[in-house]
Amino acid sequence: MEELYDVIIIGAGPAGLSAGLYAARAKLKTLVIERDAVGGQITGTSEVANYPGAVPEVTGPLLAKRMAEQCDAFGAERIKANVKQMFLEDKEKRIETEDATYKAKSVILAMGASPRKLGVPGEKELTGKGVSYCATCDAEFFTDLEVYVFGGGDTALEEAVFISKFARKVTIVHRRDTFRAAKSLIEKASKNPKIEFLYDSGAKEILGDGMVSGVILQNYKTGEIKEVYADEADGLMGIFMFVGYLPQTELIKGSVSLNDVGYIVTDDKMQTNLNGVFAAGDIREKPLRQVVTAVSDGAIAAVQAEKYIEANFED
Ligand code: NAP
């Protein structure tokens, strides 16, 4: 007979790992399924400066590794697999991966969000060839080169400062003339002699034959079009896109209630519209998407899953 887990957690970012830790520590039979590396978005962060108690030596990947170790130490099972389908309506939930089917009394959805694409010509073809969505992963490739960063939120400003440690010059291109990023980050970027700002502008096309060699920029106020190219000696320029994130809800559309921009709607106990199905972290409709709120969501979801199982299943 197939095993019946108490809780299956989909996603091993901070929300999923925190849920795993709390569920396993409560002696629930817990399975965490992740298709990529553990840690989610924090694996692309050099420093998690605003996580209470964090010290500069603890990078995003290190924090994620520690969270996973804690989860394992309490007895959660973790597997790497790509979930293909979820059947969440019935009392017994079914999760199908490419290779197997898993059953559970409750499910915690913690698939997070992925970087939004700009959707301009050249972006897709040149991703990994000068176009990047992860500064920690790729900034070093652009040592002494020129870089354009697109976006005006916390991520764009924070990562531009990080990239400036490597690049010769960083231009932050934002579609408006005011940033939505925190004042402290705007100040830090403004004081950085390597960083310049281009307002009311965006990319029309990324240029390059094999590698990024330039970008066509457009000023949205004046309509002016400007082509910028990498220095001939450099032969390459960097394009970093930090224009927000999209919730990873493809697998649950039609069964779990989403808001009009695609995030899962829950109550403050992380309960979705389906019995025994909870959501945690960036995938959820919420006012603040941070590691600290993701781990909080995960803990609440696991405790609520435990209560749900107690009330609805006999030993
Ligand atoms: P975000 O806050 O959603 O900002 C996205 C930025 O991209 C905005 O400036 C937006 O412009 C721009 N944008 C969106 N679509 C665009 C398009 N099609 N073309 C051009 N520009 C586009 O995303 P984020 O900066 O990644 O932050 C995500 C969440 O993580 C936020 O809650 C943020 O506070 C948090 N975060 C916090 C920290 C920190 O506290 N240190 C660090 C990183 C992220 P508009 O402003 O015009 O809409």
**Predicted confidence (pLDDT) per residue in 70-115, tens digit:** 999 999 999 999 999 999 999 999 999 999 999 999 999 999 998 9
Give the per-residue pLDDT at 1.
Answer: 55
Contact residues for 271 (Cβ-Cβ < 8 A; gap 6+):
277, 278, 304
Q: Is 184 in the pocket of ligand 1 (CB under 6 A)?
A: no
CB 238 within 8 A of CB 148: yes
Alpha carbon nearest to ligand 1 atom 15, residue: 243
Alpha carbon nearest to ligand 1 atom 19, residue: 118
Cβ neighbours around 251 below 10 Å, total: 18
- Residue 157 CA to ligand 1 center (angstroms) comes to 9
Question: Per-residue pLDDT for 46 more than 80?
Answer: no
H or E element at residue 211: none
Question: Per-residue pLDDT for 140 more than 80?
Answer: yes
Q: Calculate what percentage of the chain has a pLDDT beyond 90.
A: 86
d(CA 54, CA 239): 30
Catalytic residues: 134, 137-138
d(CA 94, CA 223): 53
CB 230 within 8 A of CB 141: no
Q: Is 286 in the pocket of ligand 1 (CB under 6 A)?
A: no
d(CA 278, CA 299): 11
Give the per-residue pLDDT at 224.
Answer: 97
pLDDT tens per residue, range 120-131: 999 999 998 999
Question: Per-residue pLDDT for 2 more than 60?
Answer: yes
What's this model's pTM, rounded to 2 decimal places? 0.82
Q: Is 243 in the pocket of ligand 1 (CB under 6 A)?
A: yes
Which single residue is written with the structure tokens 């949205």? Answer: 220
Q: Is 282 in the pocket of ligand 1 (CB under 6 A)?
A: no
Coil, helix or strand at residue 166: coil
Cβ neighbours around 64 below 10 Å, total: 24
Give the per-residue pLDDT at 234.
Answer: 84
Alpha carbon nearest to ligand 1 atom 39, residue: 154
Closest residue by Cα to residue 11 from 105, 57, 79: 79
Question: Per-residue pLDDT for 176 more than 70?
Answer: yes
